Amino acid sequence: MRTDLLRMTIDELIQMMPWIEDYFSSFAINPIQFGNRKLDELGPILGEDYFIEKGCSYLSFIDGFFLFIEQARALQQGSGLVVECLTVLPGHNKNGEIEAFSVDLKRGEVTAIVGPTGSGKSRLLADIESLAQGDTPTGRKILLDGRSPSDEERFSTEGRFIAQLSQNMNFVMDLSVEEFLTLHAESRMVEKISHIVQTIYDTANILAGETFSRETPVTELSGGQSRALMIADTALLSPASVVLIDEIENAGVDKVKSLELLVNNNKIVLISTHDPLLALSADQRLVIKNGGISMLLKTTENEKKHLKNLEKVDSKITLLRNQLRRGEEIDLRDLLM
């Protein structure tokens, strides 16, 4: 491996590991000037005095190069805490009555949160997002794989392992979709940036009700397009183990495919919803009443049978919605066929 890298040109190295350019920049080595040179040619070309002026020798420069790669890849593999199970310990409802049981949320499973508007669904999501430790209005505590989170895990802005997709998502940065995805991919130090950017972009357009281009400014995306982009980005690039979604049915995205994408990428998924199709697509659902968790229901085989009928109805409604968007005449008989 070491010998192979030494025989590669700087251009080839940067193409394979774009983040390695930072190492060359720290030694004032211009990739444009030396791009067609192999790594083991830099010593004779620049001379030992050049590296001495930079505070090292050519050999220590080479050793540092491989150490940089090792550290960067360790950072890639360890970015974000991997959580197998979140446990919600009982708090209390708005009347101060203690919730009757704890809830385990596991990777690769979807938990729907259902209940009337104002019942406390968003409060539960907020408790999980903040890793509450009895310091929120509900008094709930959240455990990570059976333990209490550290202060760093709760309050640090780096290495966050919980991603939250709210009902309203607004971008403020002046970037195109491609620039936004590239920037995120570079920050994760992925090796095939163009490939992952293309994959996320293609996936987002599958999820979105209306397609958009790579050149579209993110500030001009519709609510559904921005939600689709962030769902695809979260599933395919974000290291987050936990994904919290607030009412995806109002986002103008393919909700079933969105859930499948997140689950297939082994996330713990919680979704607050009023949609029976989404609720029955989940592995289990938490029923919220008066600010507290009142029931935990596993999706039954009988409910899964009804789900197939719901999917047919939802497909027809989606078809009618798209016809409306295209300005086509609507025939409600299509819904009854």
Provide mean pLDDT across the span 238-248: 80
What is the structure's pLDDT at 159? 55
Is residue 251 predicted with pLDDT exceeding 60? no
Tokens of 46: 């620049």
What is the structure's pLDDT at 79? 47
As assigned by CATH, the class of the 2-78 domain is mainly alpha
> How confident is the prediction for the chain on average, in pLDDT?
83
Residue 279: what residue type? A
CA-based nearest residue to 197, from 162, 187, 219: 187
Residues of the chain with CATH 3.40.50.300: 108-118+151-299
Q: 40-49, 227-236, 318-327: which range is least confident on average?
A: 318-327
Encode pLDDT of 74-95 as tens digits.
555 444 567 889 999 999 999 9
What is the structure's pLDDT at 285? 93
Helices 193-207 + 177-187 axis angle, to 10: 130
Of 124 and 166, the structure prediction assigns the larger pLDDT to: 124
Neighbours of 337 (CB within 10 A): 6
What is the structure's pLDDT at 134? 94
- Alpha helix (H) ranges present in the chain? 2-6, 10-16, 21-26, 31-34, 42-46, 48-53, 58-78, 121-129, 151-155, 177-187, 193-207, 223-236, 255-264, 276-281, 301-325, 333-336
CA-based nearest residue to 182, from 200, 170, 160: 200
Question: Assign residue 120 a region: left if phi > 0, alpha if psi is -120 to 50, beta otherwise?
Answer: left
Percent of the chain predicted with pLDDT > 90: 25
Q: 120-124, 167-171, 250-254: which range is least confident on average?
A: 167-171
Any bridge partners for residue 187, and if so which?
A: none
- Confidence band, pLDDT 50/70/90 cuts, at residue 307: confident
Encode pLDDT of 181-216 as tens digits.
988 887 776 767 888 899 999 998 888 877 899 999
Sheet of 162-165, strands arranged across:
162-165, 242-246, 268-272, 110-114, 284-289, 292-298
Of 135 and 55, the structure prediction assigns the larger pLDDT to: 135
What is the structure's pLDDT at 216? 92
Residues of the chain with CATH 1.10.3910: 2-78
Is residue 143 predicted with pLDDT exceeding 90? yes
Q: How many CA atoms lie within 13 A of 265 on its CB side?
A: 19
Of 198 and 1, the structure prediction assigns the larger pLDDT to: 198
Provide mean pLDDT across the span 153-177: 72
What is the structure's pLDDT at 71? 65
- Confidence band, pLDDT 50/70/90 cuts, at residue 40: confident
Residue 161: what residue type? F
What are the distances in angstroms from CA 274 to CA 61, 247, 255, 258, 288? 59, 7, 13, 16, 12
* Highest mean pLDDT pick, 12-21, 24-33, 128-137: 128-137
- Under CATH, what is the fold of the domain 108-118+151-299? Rossmann fold (3.40.50)
What is the structure's pLDDT at 103? 93
What is the structure's pLDDT at 171? 64
Encode pLDDT of 17-28 as tens digits.
777 888 888 888
Is residue 164 predicted with pLDDT exceeding 50? yes
Of 336 and 37, the structure prediction assigns the larger pLDDT to: 37
Of 291 and 165, the structure prediction assigns the larger pLDDT to: 291
